[in-house]
Amino acid sequence: MIRLYDSPVSPCCMKVRLCLAEKALNYESVAVDLGGKANLEAEYLAMNPKGVVPTLVDDGSTILESTLINEYLDEKYPGASLKPSSPEEKVSMRLWTKLIDEELHPANGAVIWPILSLERLSQRDPDEVIESLSRHPDPKRVARQTTIFQEGYGAQVVGEGLKVFAKTLEKLESSLAHSEYLVGERISLADIGILPYVNEVIRFGLDQMAEDKPLTRAWFDRMAARDSYGVAIAGVLGEAQWDAIADRGRKAWPEMRNHLS
Ligand SMILES: N[C@@H](CCC(=O)N[C@@H](CS)C(=O)NCC(=O)O)C(=O)O
């Protein structure tokens, strides 16, 4: 049985759940309570030394890194292939997944983390929050989260992250002028990888960023109409929880938007 160490709103976990759903694979989801720092407990760190989700355990092997997990699942299991067939298109697909790993996901930590966390953290003792943030093994993550906790949405790092999101939306819009999907005419790991981040823009109250991106909106609607979106993304939270997140994003947007002017 495939086991996924999972968290509902983590885009990296969404990406893996989308892949599992597209390949119609059964799996057991083990919830890792990120708010309660279960990812930093010794038992979890022994499996995933970076203290992050997802972790996939399959056939006695532990597979880390969401992009590699999706490549692994696609290689290992039959069913619809989620990679294009030509070597050139495989490179195009991996340029997208590389962009996600190297730029978009780090930016996500600056743009989406505050929407999910700041309100909750602001109700706690600040010294205790800073101590708890400092326990993460990745010093860059600690520095980023601490700065955002102290400076809020005006922090420079939030602006830098937003610019990465804006640049990615531009790139999506121009790529989608040539085809229905990011690489060629069918869904691939590139679409699956980027969908959770576009979902955040649209459903976390930042939808004004995609206002002038009709092709990206139409691609999002096509992706959201698939069964995989329902099980891997939409269905993991109740409507009231989605609305509450979107509300926080909408309240933050006027301050966030200043970074883009
Ligand atoms: N490169 C990793 C990144 C994983 C990652 O950053 N996961 C986040 C959730 S999306 C996490 O576990 N954060 C825990 C924390 O910040 O304490 C991957 O793609 O799997």
180 with 131, same domain: the answer is yes
251 with 129, same domain: the answer is yes
Whether residue 11 is predicted with pLDDT greater than 90 in this model: the reply is yes
* Ligand 1 atom nearest residue 32's Cα: 12
Amino acid of residue 110: A
* Mutate which of 7, 9, 12 for ligand 1 pocket (most atoms within 8 A of beta carbon): 12
Confidence class for position 229, pLDDT limits 50, 70, 90: very high
d(CA 50, CA 144): 16
Q: What is the CATH number of the domain that holds 41?
A: 3.40.30.10
111 with 138, same domain: the answer is yes
> Which tens digit of pLDDT belongs to each residue from 48-59?
999 999 999 999
Residue whose CA lies nearest to ligand 1 atom number 11: 52
172 with 117, same domain: the answer is yes
CB contact set of 49 (below 8 Å; sequence gap of 6+): 137
21 with 91, same domain: the answer is no
Q: Is the peptide bond before 8 cis (omega within 30 degrees of 0)?
A: no
Question: CB–CB of 239/25 below 8 Å?
Answer: no
Looking at the 3D structure of the chain, how many domains does it have?
2
Would residue 8 count as lying in a domain? Answer: yes
58 with 97, same domain: the answer is no
CB environment 23-47: b (16+ within 10 A), e (fewer): beeebebeebebeeebbeeeebeee
Residue whose CA lies nearest to ligand 1 atom number 6: 52
Would residue 14 count as lying in a domain? Answer: yes
Q: What is the CATH number of the domain that holds 150?
A: 1.20.1050.10
221 with 106, same domain: the answer is yes
Residue whose CA lies nearest to ligand 1 atom number 13: 52
Would residue 100 count as lying in a domain? Answer: yes
Its domain, for residue 13, covers 2-76
If you average pLDDT over every residue of the chain, what do you get?
Answer: 96
d(CA 70, CA 20): 8
Would residue 82 count as lying in a domain? Answer: no
51 with 118, same domain: the answer is no
116 with 22, same domain: the answer is no
Region 161-184: mean pLDDT is 96
* Ligand 1 atom nearest residue 65's Cα: 20
Residue whose CA lies nearest to ligand 1 atom number 10: 10
State the Rg of the chain over Cα: 18
110 CA to middle of ligand 1, Å?
A: 13
Q: Mapped to the 3 state alphabet, what secondary structure does 157-216 carry?
A: HHHHHHHHHHHHHHHHHHHCCCCCCCCCCCCCHHHHHHHHHHHHHHHCCCHHHHCCCHHH
Would residue 81 count as lying in a domain? Answer: no
Q: Which residues line ligand 1 (CB under 6 A)?
A: 10-12, 34, 39, 52-54, 65-67, 101, 105, 136, 141
> Which tens digit of pLDDT belongs to each residue from 136-158?
889 999 999 999 999 999 999 99
72 with 37, same domain: the answer is yes
Would residue 179 count as lying in a domain? Answer: yes
